Structure formats: structure tokens, C-alpha cells
Amino acid sequence: MVDAPSDAENNTAEAFLQGGSLKHAPGPYFGTYGGRWMPESLIAALDELEDTFEKAKADPDFVAQIADLNRNYSGRPSLLTEAKRFAEHAGGVRVFLKREDLNHTGSHKINNVIGQALLAKRMGKTRIIAETGAGQHGVASATAAALMGMECVVYMGAEDCRRQALNVARMELLGATVIPVTSGSQTLKDAINEALRDWVANVGNTHYLLGTAAGAHPFPAMVRYFHEVIGEEARAQILEQTGSLPDAVCACIGGGSNAIGIFHGFLDDPSVKIYGFEAGGDGVDTGRHAATITLGKPGVLHGARSYLMQDDDGQTIESHSISAGLDYPGVGPEHAYLADIGRVSYEPITDAEAMEAFRILCRTEGIIPAIESAHALAGAMKVGQRLAAEAGDASEKIIIVNLSGRGDKDVAQAAEWFDLLDKDSPEAEIGKEGEQL
Amino acid sequence: MSTAQTASKSAAAIDKARAEGRAALIGYLPAGYPDVEQTIAAGIALAENGADLIEIGIPYSDPVMDGQVIQAATTEALAKGFHVRQVFDVVAGITSKTDAAVLVMTYWNPVVRMGVDEFSRRLAEAGGAGLITPDLIPDEASEWFEASDKYGLDRVFLVAPSSTPERMKRTVEASRGFVYAVSIMGVTGARTSVSSAAKDVVAAAHHAGAERVCVGLGVSTAAQVREIGAYAEGVIVGTALVAAIRDGGVQAVADLTRELSTGLVREEA
């Protein structure tokens, strides 16, 4: 039995400054967060997964297999692109975009699904289940399942199915079965609940391919492992292009998988400030947001102890964000820990701020970002202005933004937001339904 | 399973049934469905018609171990404004009128939110016997060990067909009152037959040292109660009772309980 260490024993900002490392935290606990708050029925499966994962990491064949798929299927390494015209909106500092939007399937999600699908095969499982909010993780899971010849079932909130009909079609084209979830609030958290119910009943032949760095051990540490390539590439690329480390790294955070992936590369570089931008929705004072770390309280949900949006009774509160991918009332436990020790700053970005950054990136760089990633861009604009204010020469300051996904999936919603559609067009209807959530 | 340090209400109720040569019957009802008064009335009806222990569920926003019938009931209770603190009114309302041992079944976050010690204190004060915790494993339960010892509450952990011998032993040792054996790999809900896995889980729990093992998930008929009562110390019925209160109110709960209790095995002398 591993006892959860107390906060006092883990004052890691200190350990960090004294030369300890924050990288490769193995779980199950990150400070007092993480763990396994799960039904006993699933513990054997989690043990099997942990064991398989640990052995795979140490197996050169597995590592080579991942590297090969990353290179020749996903298209890694993803580019690091300097955004010179966008930078004018970020106080004139140098801004570099880590182009996860250029990966196969259009986001960072592919890194994790390839890794977990390979593990599923190693365990002899023939069926993959997954949850999805906007559809990105569902599409990535369906992709990996098709590639590896596995059955795939994706649980998706009924509300999300309606507003992301094209992504449902994409998953079905890839051979997956999409099951609309009508329980609870019919959104991402309920899709996770339904996937867990499926897993309990079918754990013999089924792997639950969780899409974010949350959930019970070993998921947070394992999902991070598969995304660490983002941070490792970015660190090497920025050194190669500029000769120095960045002053700041920015990422958006829902469950937090793209963020933990890029943060990982820089956690042990004390000069690099790290920022996670949560979905502020209509504003954190409105109650309609998904700013879990900013306003949530510690609790347990979906297998981990972490920050959680909950009421006084411990019931999960529904989150709200223009971005379905950030619309989750929990957050990965490693982020909760990094927030508590002060290594990473977490700040909310409102829907309006994110959409303004979305517009600016489109117009200045010819890149349409995912609305999720637009939260990181909006945060980078703020951070850039702060850095510029304290620097003699802003152009000596460097920010890396994790551009976690492309915005093709968000075009209807963005067109509605910017009022680009004929009022009576079917596209306007789709955009409106999206915006309501 | 340690019963020596604290008088376990659940163990006493199961032992009383055993002394009568039969298994104990345990009935589940969600608090606040259709309202708090009817939960209390139905709990009393359970006790008066043959249930030895009563399990009161706290409606929760994310019930991952529950099937559709219980989900629908607890979702409705929450929509009507159920508050966690009302579970203590339900427990006190039943324990003040009956001799049944009353446990609370709850997902863990509502307990965390109130504070494990505070929740335990109020449960004990209401006359509650202890907690059944479907998403809390002993590995994460250090606070609950402390509070349950302090207030003399039973700790009912779950074991499953997938539990390894090591985990079985550990969970049995961590439990007090009884061990909850999950009959199948799945969520709550009535099933036409109880899988053969149930008997194996009970045998494994006994082998690991459990004196009292109660079987839940999928049990809905007197015939199933009879089948399980032959090898387990207790039989837990949930979904069928929730459907009864949904369709026929307190009277239907009383009728079903009477019917189920006909399945309790009476050993040949």
C-alpha cells in the first residue's frame, strides 16, 4: 500500500529549487492528489494496465514502435512555428507555436491513443471504448482502432452529438460505434460515467482509452508519458531556433493532457514560467465556466483526487465553455499538484477573450486554431504584454504556445460567434446550438 | 474482519438472522425518492416485512456503479432538491421506529465534501450502522478507518469477481460488519439469473477470513434470494425495490419485501 504523502512532506517547490526533479512523476500520488477512487471491480484492470505500461516503457521494441508510428503515421515531430505577426498582439515578444494542429487527426490527441491502443493489444484486448466531448478524442480513438484492427465504441453526450454531428459521422466513417449518452447532464462527464459502466461489465476484452491526463492511476502518469514528446520536441526546437530556453510556456487546460505534455519538457527549467489557461466561460464570477483550479475545491471524481467544480454537497457542478474540449468540471491531478506548489500558474480565459485570440491568429498567421487552443493564445497575449512591460527589449523575450489542435471542427461555431452566416442558413442553426452549451 | 473492538450493528443483525437459521435480507432505497418522508416510510416497511438491514443510498451526480433504474431515481431526487444532510433524517426516521441496522451507501465525494469526521459523527448520531462505499477501496480509506473507529461505524467495502486473492484478503481485513460481494462484473440492475461468479466470490471471501458476506447486484426475486441465501450470510436487493417504490409506492415495497423474505432459507434442524 502506498500512503498518500501529506502536503507538508511534499513541499516540492522547495525540493524543486534544491535540485529535485518534477519530471516523470510516477503516480499514483502527486502530492495529495491522484490515487484510485474507483470501484473494486476495476482495480484488477488498473493493475494489469499499470503492469503492462511499466513493462512496455522498458521494452525497446515498444518504444521503437511508438517512435515509428509518431514519425510515419502521425507526422511527428510537429513543427515549431514562429508567429511574427501574431506576436505584435502579445507585447512584441517572440511567440512560437508548437504545431500539434498539424498531427494526423488534427490535434495532440493522436499521441495518447496510439500509445494506449498498443498497450491494449499487448494486453490481448480486442475492444476499445472511449469518451469524447467535442469529438476530437473520439475521432482519434476511432482512428487508432481502425489502424490496429480493433473494435471501437465511443460514448458521447447526446447534447454533444447534436452539436458535433460531423464528428459523429467521422467516427462512424472510421468504423466506430457512437453511443449518445442521455444520463445526467448529457455531456463529457456523463460520457465518462457511461464508459466506466461499460468497462466494469466488459473489462475482460475491453480497454478504456481515457482521453485526458485524469482518472485513476495509472492514467494520469501514463497519458502524460505519451504526450511528453510534445515538450521534449519543443524544448529541442526552441534551443535550435533561438539558442535559448523560452521565458514562458502556455497551454490550455481542460483535463490537461496537451498541457502536461508540453509542461513536462520545461518543469525542471527554473527560468521558464509555465501557464495553464482554463476555460473562463462567461466569466468566473458568473458561475458559467470551467475554471476548475481557479475556483474548484479538492474532491474525488472519475477515479482521482483533484480540484473539482462541486457544490456544498459534493455534487459535481456542470461546467460551461464555448470550447467543448475544455468543458469538464475536473482536472488532472498532476495539475492540481503543480498549482499547489506554485510551479505552474493557472488562470481563466473567457469565451470572448479566446474568440478574440482565435480571430487574431486566423488573420495574422493564416492558421485557424481549435477554440481550445485559442484559450492558450489569449493567455499568451496577456503573458507577452506582462513580459514586455518588465523587459527593456521585448523582442528578447520568448513564449511557446501549445497549439493543441486545428479549428476546422469549430468553423460553424466561430462563424456564428462572428456573425458570418446568413441568419436562416442551416449552418447558422448548427452554430447556434453549439454556442448554447 | 474485526468485530471485537466495536459492537457492530450490521454484524449483530446478520448474526440474529443466522441464529434463526437463515440468511439476512438487506434492502436498498435511495434517499429522497420520491421524497424524504416516503423513503422513511418505505424503510420502516422494509423492516416490518422481513428486511434485517437497510441500505439508504445518497443520490449523487456521477453514479458510475448504478444502472438505469437507480440512476433515474437518484437523478429525480437531486432534481427535486435533495440535500446530503437529509440522509441523516432518513436514517434517524427509520432507526427510531425499527430495530433494523441502517447503513448508508454513498459514493465518496459527498463524504469528502462534508468532512469524513463530521459525516461520521452525524451518521452515528442518527443511529446509523455504517457506510457501504462503492468507489472507496481500503487503499484510499485512511481517513475513513480513523473516523469509523472513532464513532463505532461499520466499514463495508466491496469485493468483486475480479478481486485477486491478495486484494480479497486485504479488503476482508479492512471491512467491519460484513463484506459486500459484487455478484457480477457490471452495474446495479435486476437480472434474470445471478451469475455463478457470485458463489465463487463468496467462497473466496470466506476463504480470506470473512465471517459475513452479503451478495448484491442483480438480485430481484425470492428464488434468487433462496439460491444465494444457501451460501452467503446475506442477500442484498436494490433495483427491484426501487422499481417497486417507483411503480407502487410504500405498499409495493412492503409487498415485495414480504415476497422476497419467503426466499430466506431456513436450515433443516
C-beta of residue A333 within 8 angstroms of C-beta of residue A214 = yes
Q: Which of A109, A189, A273, A397 is flagged as catalytic?
A: A109
Sign of the four-CA dihedral A78, A80, A85, A90:
positive
User: E strand or H helix at B120, and its extent?
Assistant: helix B116-125
Measure in Å the smallest separation between the Cα of A35 and chain B Cα atoms: 7
Q: Is the pLDDT of residue A435 over 70?
A: no
Domain membership of residue B266 (yes or no) is no
Average pLDDT over residues B183-212: 89
Contacts of B182 in chain A (CB under 8 A): 40-41
Helix (H) or strand (E) holding A388: helix A371-390
Query: Distance, in angstroms, between B52 CA and closest chain A CA?
Result: 25
Q: Is A48 a catalytic residue?
A: no
Cα distance from B164 to chain A (closest Cα, Å)? 7
Handedness of CA A398, A401, A402, A405 (dihedral sign): negative
Give, rounded to a whole angstrom, the gap between the first and last alpha carbons of chain B.
Answer: 28
Q: How many CB atoms lie within 10 A of CB A336?
A: 27
Give the closest residue to A247 by CA, choosing from A118, A391, A369.
A391
Residue B63, in any domain of the structure: yes
Which chain A residues touch B167 with a CB distance below 8 Å?
40, 43-44
Nearest CB among A37, A184, A310 relative to B136 is that of A37
Q: Which residue of B has its CA nearest to A189?
A: B62
- Please tell me the total count of domains within chain B: 1
Q: Which of B131, B135, B138 is nearest to B156 (CA)?
A: B131
Whole-number Å distance between alpha carbons of A368 and A365: 9
Domain of residue B163: give its range.
Answer: 2-261
Euclidean distance between CA atoms A323 and A309, whole angstroms:
17
First to last CA, chain A: 42
Side-chain-side CA neighbours of B186 within 13 Å: the count stands at 16
Backbone angles phi, psi at B153, to 5 degrees: -105, 150
* Overall average pLDDT of the A131-142 stretch: 93
Q: State how far the alpha carbon of A277 is from the alpha carbons of A149, A180, A220, A347, A373, in Å.
A: 37, 29, 19, 5, 9
Of B62, B136, B161, the CB nearest to A301: B62
Model-level pTM?
0.94
Mean pLDDT value across residues A396-415:
94
| Predicted confidence (pLDDT) per residue in B152-192, tens digit | 999 999 999 999 999 999 999 999 999 999 988 888 887 77
- Which distant-in-sequence residues (6+ apart) come within 8 Å of A390 by Cβ? none
CB pairs under 8 A between A and B: 120
Q: Which of B64, B84, B157 sits opposite A197 (nearest CB)?
A: B64
Interface probe for B, chosen from A36, A40, A187 (most Cβ of B below 10 Å), is: A40
At A195, the amino acid letter reads: A
ipTM over 0.85: yes
The span from the CA of A10 to the CA of B171, in Å, is 29
On average, the pLDDT of chain A sits at 93
Examine residue B154 and state whether it is found in any structural domain, yes or no: yes
CA distance B146 to B142: 6
Which of A2, A44, A314 is closest, CB to CB, to B109? A314
Contact B109 A44 (CB under 8 A): no
| Amino acid of residue A274 | I
For A35-73, the pLDDT digits (tens) are: 999 999 999 999 999 999 999 999 999 999 999 999 999
Averaged over B82-90, what is the pLDDT?
Answer: 98
Q: Answer yes or no: do A184 and B61 touch at CB < 8 A.
A: yes
CATH number, residue B28: 3.20.20.70
Cα angle B26, B30, B36 (rounded to 5 degrees) comes to 115
pLDDT of residue B192: 75
User: Is A425 a known active-site residue?
Assistant: no
| Residue B9: all three cell numbers together | 450493528
Is there a domain that residue B269 lies in? no
Q: SS3 for A180?
A: strand
pLDDT per position as a tens digit, A182-197: 988 888 899 999 999 9
* pLDDT at position B137 over 60: yes
Report chain B residues whose CB lies below 8 A from the CB of A198: none
**Which pLDDT score, from 0 to 100, does residue B3 have?**
42
Name which of B122, B139, B146, B183 to mutate to probe chain A: the one with the most chain A Cβ atoms within 10 A of its Cβ: B139
Chain A interface test: which of B74, B104, B137 (most A C-beta within 10 Å): B137
Which chain B residues contact residue A4 at CB under 8 A? 140, 142
Kindly list the catalytic residues of B.
Answer: 55, 66
Dist. CA A200–CA A206, nearest whole Å: 9
Q: Determine, yes or no, domain membership for B101.
A: yes
Q: How far lies B148's CA from each of B48, B101, B123, in Å?
A: 28, 16, 10
Q: What is the mean pLDDT of residues B139-144?
A: 98
On whether residue B268 sits in a domain, the answer given is no
Q: Please spell the DSSP secondary structure of A117-148, one letter per residue.
A: HHHHHHTT--EEEEEESSSHHHHHHHHHHHHH
Query: In chain A, which residues have their Cβ closer than 8 Å to the Cβ of B163?
Result: 40, 43-44
Phi, psi of A215 (to 5 degrees): 85, -175
Mean pLDDT of A403-426: 88
Region B18-22: mean pLDDT is 96
pLDDT above 80 for A107: yes
